[in-house]
Amino acid sequence: MLRRDAGIGQTFPMTLQKLFDLTGRVAIVTGGSVGLGRQMAEGLAEMGANLVLCARKKERCLQAAEELQKLGVQVLALGCDVKQPASIQEVADAAFKHFGRIDILVNNAGTSWGAPVESMTLEQWNKVIETNLTGTFLFSQAVGKIMIGQRRGKIINIASVAGLRGSPPKFSAIGYSASKGGVIIFTKDLACKWGMHNIHVNAIAPGWFPTDMSEKVIERNKESLLAGVPLGRFGGPHDLKGAAVFLASDASDFVTGHTLVVDGGQSA
């Protein structure tokens, strides 16, 4: 396979290892200190990417940074509230000042709220929408301005299979489902808008992974949930790494506007 260098106009061979290599790239992972964010951050670091981890609890990011640095990459740990534009801008500015570039953005920070539709308050609804959907927009906007100047970038939005279809009544989290459905169409539309800048925008839609946010639901409904997963298990500690690395790397340079479902066949 030959790859064209846009800056020089020359072609050079690209091996499979080179296509997935992230050495020297810089990735921001929101909510990257624990759970799925931590798993994806680890995968990116294992392929050579330097990291910027940000979350509301900075102390968790500092702990994760200390552990991930053992992989031989630089890790910057920052506090951030994705509902606050000024907080997001501080992270983008700090990342660019420290590394001089931002190649990858993983919009992973998220929350949920369980309540019947008829009793969910506006405050509860807004908290979920502002974190999961508006936060994705605000971070993409802030980092996208830098990527436009670079003429390249990879944005990975974390959606969910909950955003692909309706859920049974016992899963009362309509704000979460609505926000993740919004993330999917936001991904498609932003891919159309920013393709001209050589910015790739894709999403990952995980199925059931045991995390701090989902473990109670999984505990209460384990048998019925597993019955709906053809592979017969929940997502594990390595199941999102490959998807994140693929969408962050040159291996996905002709993929944009796509939602990669990682759910063990649940939505099949």
Contact (Cβ atoms closer than 8 angstroms) between residue 21 and residue 45: no
How many Å apart are CA 170 and CA 108, to the nearest integer?
25
Check if 138 is active-site.
Answer: no
Quick one: which H or E segment has residue 203?
A: strand 199-206
Output the CA torsion 135→136→141→143 (10° steps).
100
Q: Which residues contact 17 (CB under 8 A, 6 or more apart)?
A: none
Parallel/antiparallel/unpaired status of strands 2-4 and 104-107: unpaired
How many Å apart are CA 116 and CA 98, to the nearest integer?
45
Annotated catalytic residue, options 99, 137, 139, 176:
176
Contact (Cβ atoms closer than 8 angstroms) between residue 262 and residue 204: yes
How many Å apart are CA 74 and CA 249, to the nearest integer?
18
- Residue 68 sits at the vertex; the CA angle it makes with 67 and 72, to the nearest 5 degrees, is 120
Parallel/antiparallel/unpaired status of strands 153-158 and 199-206: parallel
Please list the active-site residues. Answer: 176
